[in-house]
Structures are given as structure tokens and as C-alpha cells.
Chain A
């Protein structure tokens, strides 16, 4: 790569960095350090993800698991464990205090009631009705603490014809129910069957995106409820269904069917709505190419040296390029061109074009499609604090995705990544319930903690 010459606005970059560099996060206050959160999540990572977001902002978060721990601790590729914890929970136990409590016992439920009396927020992910059957549903708990904000994240919600299903919420099932998986994937080549090309089918996203989206909507709804509570003193119940939360990000497909009867079908690595917008092959892999304005598309055509041959000068609108037949036609024309370059070469061509191209400073978006391994080792993201390892007292130095946003005043931060099952029983039960070692021994013998 040529040596980087800093832009004219470099003083702005330096100024902002001085104000919001995540390296200085621990010098700053925490937005939610006045709030106490109880996390009763079971089997679903949407709940722990939601409470992670609150705990990263300073909320004192008490994660309650059954004795022996929640199933989520076993979630891990190939069953890999690090000091007894799977890779997933090694990220989403972050900043939380971990206690055990047996909610199958009345004594355990009484302890929960005492905690709720002192809490601001409770999150649970049991199938609807389970908490009510235990006598610790929203109605009962709101009597003890009318300021309580009670959020449930489930597969089917707290009301509606399917809400009675006694089924837990899993990410892959939610992705299937959202309508997004249906429309994503490779197109079946003409004349082939699914048996011959089993990968040309509806395909879910690899990450737990449905859980992440419902957990984040959960955090957003909770913070909005906190705002309302500060104004009025009133707590409330919040109901989120994971497939709905993810489906909300599924933009126009609902409306298209209602108005035109069109079911949005898979369109491979092109985009039903957008041009230029897709993945294209290169000599050593592939790149994303994007340009949603006519000039950006022309600039791309210029970069690959087809400006005159394809008649780009005459184009006055992007409109015809969004049609299906044109998309396929131009895709076939672009593929052999991009294949002549490496991904890095094309990326640098785009950056150079912004400086010297005939349409400069306009240039298309070119981005290499990288494996997560490269992402994690990319110096730019590291410099921006995304992969700063957390020095955990129990688990050692662990790389944790963080600094998802930067801020001058109350940025999110990660203090520890996880805790073993019941690790904080001593601290939490002493602080909130006044229980010392003798009482805890008694509760352990009774199977309550």
C-alpha cells in the first residue's frame, strides 16, 4: 500500500479522537450506574445480550441461573470450553454478577421477590405463562414494586393466538419465522434440483442476529420505559417476540406482497432494490461493490475501463438498472472484469479514483469480503478499540467485541467477560439480602442456591 497521506480534515479526526477514544473509557462516568437489573434468561441468548448492553453502560446486573448454570453456558462450536464456559457465554456474561437460585422452590422465589423489591428492571425469556405459574409473573411482582420494568423476550409473545406455546426461543427458529431467511440465499440454477445443489436454498445468517436484534430492541424499550418512569414514576411490562423484532428490519417485502402479490424471492448476491449493490468475484476472493447514485455507478465503470465501451456518458438515470433483467445482464458483464484484479487492488483503485478520477471526488464503494479471522486482525479496528482484550480475573485475557460506539461522556465498556456459576452468591446475597456465610451454607444444603 502507498504511504497514507493525511486528509485536509485530519485536525478534526485528532480532535474527536482526543474526546472519544475508547482507550480513555474508564476515565468517564457510566450512564446507567443508578440502575439495578435482574436477568433471569433461560436458554435464549437474547436476554443475556440485552443485559450485556445495559451492563456495558454501568447497570448493576444480577444474572440468576438455576443451580448448575443455564444451558447457554454450553453453547459453543464443536463443544469447545474455556475454564468450563462455552465461547458464546464467554462474551455475554460480561460485567454481570452471577448467582444461583432455584425458582422451583418457594424459598427461592421469596428470595427473588426480595431482589425485585430493590431492582429497577427484570428480564426473562421463559415461554409465556411460566413466571405466572411460579407466582412471580409481572402482576405479582408489580405489586411488590410498582416502579419495576419487566421485559420478556420470547418466541411467540405474551398475547396472540400462538402465545400459549410452551416452546423456548431459539435464534435459528426465529430467523426462519421472520421472512428474512426465506429471501436470502443462492438462486437455484435453471434445470437443477435442490438435491443436486443443496446449498441453493433459503439460508440463515451465521451470527445470532435474531437474538441480537430482539435483545437490542429489548434494551431500547427498557431505556424508553426508564425515561417514562422518571417522568411519571410508573413502571410497566414489555413484551418482545424475537421473530417479530427481526422481521421489523425486513423492510418492503410485507407491503410488496400486499400491493402486488409478489413474494420476495432469493436473488443471490444482488439486491432486489438496489444498483450498484452486490458481491463480485476477484482474482483472490470477492468484493462488495456499491454505488446508489448514478455517478458512483459511472465511476465504477470508469475504474474498470468500460466507461466509453458501455456508453456511461449517455446514462441519465439509475432507474432501468434496478430492474431484474438489467441487473443480471450487467452482473454477467462485470464478473469477468473484477476477476482480473485482487480485492486489494480494486479497493485501492477506488480510493485513488476519489482523488484523481474523472468524476472525483465521487467513487464507488469497494470492500473486500473477508473472513472473520482477518477482521479480528485488522489493525484499523484494533486501533479503534473494537478488539481490545479484557483482562479477566477468572478467564484471563479474552478478546471481546466492544466499543460498538464511541462517546465523549458515557461510552460502553467491558470490565470482565464472565463469571463461573454462583461466583457472586456471597457478595450479592450479602449486599441485597443480608445473608452471610452461615445462611448461604444452609441454602446450599437445601438446594436453593
Chain B
């Protein structure tokens, strides 16, 4: 479709995002909770992130080895773009009332709290349903709303999900201890899948007018990804073990050490891909070897280990870039291993607008990953990053609830609304002029 995406990046801002007109309330912290609403915000929904004043989301403190970006947590910045920032004390009655007023005008509400807390705050699903019967309401946490683990009040997070699902067990090298991922995969992936549930519910509501309650555990959700593991264990009676960089279901598919001590990954299961690889190795006869000719025979462990040994010896004589180039030439899949430098400098990522600079009124220029779904008629886009705690209170209260300044001041006086604590990650960056980024300035 060469013409469909011509000038896509240049013209991105000539079309709305697909979720224009959808309003979301988020009461979430850390990663599993907030990542989902961000995906909606990137697709054009109006997402109001509600934090408890004055400290807000604990992620504001987290950082790699002490590095902050303009006193802000880089982790927090990348999890929470495109949102409006409100600080509302949901422990007190008036705060709960304001929340309900907002909920009456919202489409979607997202929480990640312990089971039963939303009800205690008088903003549980059924309490919100009274003011908005069509509401789509999701609660996300480690073990769901019922079941033994939930009832034991176990805390949870991404690492626990990697451990309890078996994901970590099957992600190390054979006979080595289980390995944790460098990214918070269960949280991020749970956030992503939660939005699939929500957009499906939105479609159902359009047809029927009916809203719904959804609950999700990131541990259960990551099990869905481990698809072949379950019937394999059931039908063979064997447990799945780790296999290093080898893909256990596809052959050849592995990562190899190259002549330049760099790594390259390749895959070539289809007949013409495998033939291409054999030709690239100068070993065309392997393609018709009875051990390797058929994919299902090649997958038998002894044959797999044999062919991978042959490829590994060959790969050690080529650089990683040479292997990638041979993949292009001979029609099998291959790449050099990419790192953070490649992410920043690769022209392909840049020209697709997948890696781009944001021009933020509070945080200036910084680099960001774009939403990874390119949509020809409704391009999703990241526009701005995070804000201090309670930064957009005035705007939200005026725009959605029609409160005037005197009424808003009254709410501050009673501690219903709040602003940031004078603390790293909560307050504006030190070079802030008191105005930039504020939608209503006073």
C-alpha cells in the first residue's frame, strides 16, 4: 500500500485520533494501571489521571540508577503521556462527590486498587452505575477480585507475575536459574490487554446501551501469551523448560555469536527460507538432507541441535551485519541485535515517526516512542508528557463541572482538591516560569 502511508508522518496532525470524544477517568499508580489509559490517550481519548494529593503516583520517585530527567522520573514520563492531571482526595466525602460528578460524564473508569477499596470509597462499580448506567469500569490487580490469592490480601506486581506464571522459568538458558525480563512485561502487557477488553465493551455499549464491570490480573493475562505451553504439557505429560535463545517451536530460529563478537538473530523455517539460508552458508545440500528437509522433522530435538550447531559455526565466521545482509539477499529473516543506541539512531524508526521528539511546555525537547499502530485515517500520536500533581485541576473543574474560581478555592480550602508537594517528581521542574503548560493561568 505504497500511497496510503505517503507523507503519513508529515500529515499526522491533519486527522483526529480514532477515540476522539471518549472520556476516561484513571485512578491508578505504578505501571499495570496507568499504562492502559495512556494507550487510549495516545489514540485521542481525553484521559484524566486522578492522583491523591499531594504526593500522587509513587512512580514519580522511580529512576534508573539515580537518573532523573529535569527532576522527573523517566519511567513516569514514558508511562503517562497525553493525560490531564487532577489531584482529588477520594478518602473524603466531598472528593467522592466530585468523582461521581465526573463519572456521570465519563465513558470509562480504571482502577488498580486492592479488592473492595472502591466500594469503601463509595465509588465502586454499582455506586457509579447509579449515576451512569453505561459506564465501562475496570479493576486491575495481581490476583483479581476473588479466589484464594486475592482473599489472602497478597500484594503483587510485575515481577511476581513473571514468577508465578512460569514466564521467567522458561526464559533463561537450560539448567540456569529463571530469568527476570529487563522490562515490566506483565504490567505493560496487562495494561494493553485491558484496553482490548474496554474497546470491545465500548462497541457492545454502542449496540445495546449497556456498560460493564471488568476485572483483570496481569498474571492470568500473561498466561494467555504462553499459548503452546499448556496443551504441550497436557498432551505429553512433560513440563516446559527453558531453551535459551532458541525458539522451541520453530527451526532454525536462534541468536548467534558472530565474528565481531556481536549477536545476530535469524529464522528460516519455511522451505525457501531454509534453502536460502543453506545457500548463504554455501551448504545447499543441507536443504535436502532428510533430517532437515521437513520442518516437523527438523524440529525433533536431535535434528534441531545439529542444524543449530552448523549455523553457529558458520555465524562465527561472519559479522552480525553481514548475516543481516545475507538474510535480505537470500530471503530469510535476520537482524543484528539492537540496543538503545540503535533505537535512537536507526533511520527506519525515525522516518516512520516511531521514534520522535516531543516539544513539551514543561519538560522541553525529549525523545519518545510513538504509539506503534499507524492508522491511515486516524493517526494516534503522543503530544505531551506528564504534569505536576494536580496541575490541571482548574481546567477540569471548569471545563467539565462548570465550577468557578471561588468554588474551586473552597475545595482547596477543605483539602478536596490539592496541588503538588514541594518534592522531587511532584512539583514542576525548577526552570518552570509559573505559566508554561497551564491551560488556565491565574
Contacts and interface: CB of A to CB of B under 8 A. Distances in A.
A260 interface: yes
Interface residues of A, number: 198
Given A162-B348, A279-B177, A182 B234 contact: no
Given A354-B153, A410-B200, A398 B216 contact: no
A369 B201 contact: no
B250 A405 contact: no
B255 to A, nearest CB: 6
- Looking at B151, B163, B184, B234, the one whose CB has the most chain A CB atoms below 10 A away is B163
B164 interface: yes
Nearest to A49: B227
A228 B236 CA distance: 46
A207 B193 contact: no
Contact of A228 (B6, B173, B372, B377): B377
Contacts of B406: none
A311 interface: no
B228 A372 contact: no
A421 interface: no
A224 B74 contact: no
Report, as a range, how many residues of chain B touch the other chain.
Answer: 35 or more
A216 interface: yes
A438 interface: no
Contacts of B239: 371-373
Contact of B18 (A227, A289, A370): A227
B435 interface: no
B66 A221 contact: no
A176 B340 contact: no
A344 interface: no
A220 interface: yes
Contacts of A220: 39, 192, 195-196, 199, 373
Given A43-B269, A288-B160, A404 B221 contact: yes
A383 interface: yes
Nearest to A159: B5
Contacts of A387: 230
B182 A404 contact: no
B265 A176 contact: yes
A29 interface: yes
A34 interface: yes
Given A138-B1, A179-B342, A290-B159, A13 B145 contact: yes
B180 A269 contact: yes
B374 A205 contact: no
A259 B375 contact: no
A249 B343 contact: no
Interface in A211-242: 212-214, 216-221, 223-228, 230-231, 234-241
25 contacts: A13-B145, A78-B301, A80-B236, A87-B235, A157-B374, A160-B351, A168-B333, A173-B265, A175-B265, A201-B263, A207-B171, A208-B227, A228-B19, A228-B378, A231-B21, A239-B373, A244-B349, A257-B344, A262-B67, A350-B154, A372-B170, A383-B148, A384-B220, A406-B216, A407-B197
4 nearest A-B residue pairs (beta carbon)? A372-B166, A373-B239, A409-B212, A176-B265
